Structure 1
Amino acid sequence: MAHTTAIRHLVTSHPTGLEINLQRQTTGSAPWHGWYKFPKLGLALTYYDFHNPVLGYAVSASPYISKPFSRGPRHDFSLRMGAGLAYLSNPYNQDTNHKNTIASSALNATLQLRFEYDYALTPHVGLLVGLGLNHYSNGATTKPNFGVNLPSVVLGLNYHELRSFAQVNANAPAPMEVGQTFFNVSTSVGFKQRNPSDRQKYLVNSVTAAVGRRVNRKSNLLAGVEGFYDRSLKAQLADTTRAGIKQPDVKKAGVFVGHELLFGQLAFVSHFGFYVYAPYKSSTAYYERLGLKYHFTNFLFGAVDLKIHRGAADVIEFKVGAKL
């Protein structure tokens, strides 16, 4: 899909692909299973041929969760969300493949969103139809990186060991943490390339302090402050500032509000923030963040976040923190 004019020359074909899924039906062994109407958890192994010699092919592995909207004895309508890693065979190369402005690294992150309808043909086999979107991007770690947006129509077969399953804890009580306030402190590291001609990877750091509250079984709300140090901005200033002129500070500070959608120890994170200190105006005055967060213990967590400026990836943040 030509989501920007810079990749319009690459949209010349209809990619085709094959996907194998291994999935498990949750039955209530954890309280959140019932809160989300017993979703399926799975791993998708996907191959797409772009039918374009500039782009080659993509192979990906994506863990996912599939949440049902409507479920009956013979049908299942659900929304599937997944994230993982992808290999793109023909990344950008300034000497040999300069037309591929979509992706400049072989290793990329992938996101998958799909609506699926499964209709039972037999007690164990279902006909699957779906409408989805696959996205591949390296999060500006290497440039150019406009990313691949690949809409898809899906046709397949599902094998169910047990189409009807026993459900326990369908109405599990809300956890004791609902209504309680907590504090998070964290730090992150990331790497980004400034432009295609400068192949150096620059270090990006952040520190965050936030206060949060568990508002219901599925959600945390947060607000916080954070600081950023992007060393690629120093290199950018060195190229554009005339000799003898004092360069502005490239450090930035921001405030944000956020939401965490909870799946047991795992959470889907979304933040929206504003810079309150940014002497060097290198981007929009606001930023967004999407990511996955996992609590290894009640105290320690890790996260992988994508920081965004007006829809364009800024940096992938690898984060570690503590809940106080």
Structure 2
Amino acid sequence: MELNLQRQTNGSEPWHAWYRYPRIGLALVYYNYHNPVLDRSYAATTYISKSLFRTPRQELNFRLGTGVAYFTNPFDLETNHKNSIVSSRLNATMQMRFEYDVSVAEHTGLLVGLGLNHYSNGATTKPNFGINLPTVYLGINYHQQRPFVPTVPASEDMPTDIGQDFFNLSTSIGFKQRSPVDRQKYLVQSVSVLGGRRVSRKSNVLVGLEGFYDRSLISQLRDTARTTDRLPDVKKASVVLGHELLFGRLALVTHLGFYFYNPYKSNVFYYERLGLKYHFTSRVFGAIDLKVHRGAADVLEFKAGMKFNH
């Protein structure tokens, strides 16, 4: 079951027109898995819904959102050891789907959709296989205004910083668990120096260097090494390429990194990152990122940084 509350953007911000006046919404999602090991989950997701096709009577939209989920019966070594999928009550969630809405009355639309819901705690607690739920949707939409008409004329002005360079200096912390048996939470830290350029109204591109210090690798190394003499360094350094899809102060961040300093090869030579970044001021920003190695979550990063214009 899902309940949505959506607000139509109206052109009051320039990016509204750049994305063809998307909707911004909040979804409350309930799943009953009909399985005593998983039981039930509740989630709250904020999302943006972009129109791919729109007429006065019908529309096709693509939705992308993220939020927090609560599971009623997570993994417990003594009482629920079979639940290798969800190990913590709180999890991050991602939601993406295609929706087709056709008018059946003046303010009412019939909704059908196909989507994917993902739940994971980002390896903060293990085991963490996570859940992927391909889902077919059937529902009813109430539209306060249909057909949609922008209330603020679209601005033809281009952002003044297109073509300008900038530098981002940031640091992050995260926590991860090695295994279901080792219940300790290990601190993971990173620092990054990235240079970037705004190449269009919607996009920044970035390139730079990152360094990582994952304390869980020290414990892992000591458990697996034959001797504790002259253990390899667990610190890592990488070169990273990135892109930011801009929605005003908010950005959807995607990174691809390659380790060039990696004495203790605990993972593959590259990593991916997906996250949300928000500029509190023109200089100060924060972000929540998920760092991944070959599709497996490595750590959930909480980041703070500064932007310096060239």
With the length of structure 2 as denominator, give the TM-score of the two structures: 0.98
Asked if residue 277 in structure 1 is aligned to residue 275 in structure 2, the reply is: no
Q: d(CA) in 1 for partners of 2:17 and 2:155?
A: 6
Q: Is the 8 A contact 1:34 1:172 kept in 2?
A: no
Q: How many Å apart are 1:163 and its aligned residue?
A: 1.3
Letter in 2 for 1:241: A
Aligned pairs for 1:53-68 within 5 A: 53-68=36-51
Aligned pairs for 1:232-311 within 5 A: 232-311=216-295
Q: How many Å apart are 1:267 and its aligned residue?
A: 0.3
Q: Which residue pairs with 2:87 in the alignment?
A: 104
Q: d(CA) in 1 for partners of 2:180 and 2:58?
A: 49
Match of 2:10 among 3, 27, 41: 27
Match of 2:59 among 55, 76, 81: 76
Q: Is the 8 A contact 2:108 2:141 kept in 1?
A: yes
Aligned pairs for 1:153-168 within 5 A: 153-167=136-150, 168=152
Q: d(CA) in 2 for partners of 1:94 and 1:214?
A: 49
Q: How many Å apart are 1:246 and its aligned residue?
A: 1.4
Q: Which residue pairs with 2:186 in the alignment?
A: 202
Q: Deviations over 1:87-113 (max 9, x none)?
A: 011111111111111110000000000
Match of 1:119 among 102, 122, 144: 102
Q: d(CA) in 1 for partners of 2:156 and 2:43?
A: 35
Q: Is the 8 A contact 1:60 1:86 kept in 2?
A: yes
Q: d(CA) in 2 for partners of 1:31 and 1:169?
A: 10
Q: Which residue pairs with 1:11 in the alignment?
A: none
Q: Deviations over 1:30-75 (max 9, x none)?
A: 0000000000000000000011110001100000000000000001
Q: Is the 8 A contact 2:222 2:228 kept in 1?
A: no
Q: Which residue pairs with 2:29 in the alignment?
A: 46
Q: Is the 8 A contact 2:56 2:148 kept in 1?
A: no
Letter in 2 for 1:88: F
Q: d(CA) in 2 for partners of 1:163 and 1:88?
A: 37
Q: Give the aligned CA root-mean-square deviation in angstroms.
A: 0.8
Q: Which residue pairs with 1:10 in the alignment?
A: none
Q: Which residue pairs with 2:171 in the alignment?
A: 187
> How many residue pairs end up in the alignment?
307
**Misfit runs of 4+, over 6 Å:** none
Q: Is the 8 A contact 1:31 1:169 kept in 2?
A: no
Unaligned runs of 5+ in 2: none
Letter in 2 for 1:307: K
With the length of structure 1 as denominator, give the TM-score of the two structures: 0.94
Asked if residue 137 in structure 1 is aligned to residue 131 in structure 2, the reply is: no
Q: d(CA) in 1 for partners of 2:161 and 2:196?
A: 11
Q: How many Å apart are 1:171 and its aligned residue?
A: 4.8
DSSP-derived class of the 1:235 partner: helix
DSSP-derived class of the 1:203 partner: strand
Asked if residue 37 in structure 1 is aligned to residue 20 in structure 2, the reply is: yes
Q: Is the 8 A contact 2:213 2:236 kept in 1?
A: yes
Q: Which residue pairs with 1:7 in the alignment?
A: none
Letter in 2 for 1:223: V
Q: d(CA) in 2 for partners of 1:195 and 1:309?
A: 17
Overall identity of the aligned pairs, in %: 64
